């Protein structure tokens, strides 16, 4: 399993060191460019727990439905364009996926 705190620590130490993940696209009449800004991980890391099946069978359909919904949601252009979802209770196990 992936812990939320462990994920946040890894993102701060290994992901946010790259300016691209701290930057958003700014556009005006002269063009577009990347502008760095402070990143609040609460805006980018979403913690979700899938409902468990009573018989401990796979909840893969619930995971597929979640991924389908997430793929249709636009990202906020006022923030760096990335988001991660830590999904617990995947596939009928105590594991997680990202």
User: Position of tokens 């401990």?
Assistant: 56
- Residue pLDDT, tens place only, 1-14: 789 999 999 999 99
Distance CA 72, CA 94 (A): 27
- Residue pLDDT, tens place only, 49-76: 988 777 767 788 888 999 999 999 999 9
Question: Exposure string (b/e) for 24-49, b if CB count within 10 Å is 16 or more?
Answer: beeeeeeeeeeeeeebeeeebbeeee
Give pTM, 2 decimals: 0.83
Closest CA to 86 of 9, 18, 17: 9
């Amino acid at each position: 399993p992936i812990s939320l705190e462990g994920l946040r620590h890894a993102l701060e130490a290994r992901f946010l060191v790259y300016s691209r993940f701290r930057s958003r696209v700014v556009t005006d009449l002269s063009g577009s460019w990347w502008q760095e800004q402070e990143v609040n991980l609460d805006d980018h890391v979403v913690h979700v727990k899938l409902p468990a099946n009573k018989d401990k069978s796979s909840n893969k359909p619930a995971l597929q439905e979640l991924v389908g919904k997430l793929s249709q949601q636009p990202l906020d252009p006022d923030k760096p364009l990335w988001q991660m979802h830590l999904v617990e209770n995947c596939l009928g196990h105590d594991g997680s996926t990202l």
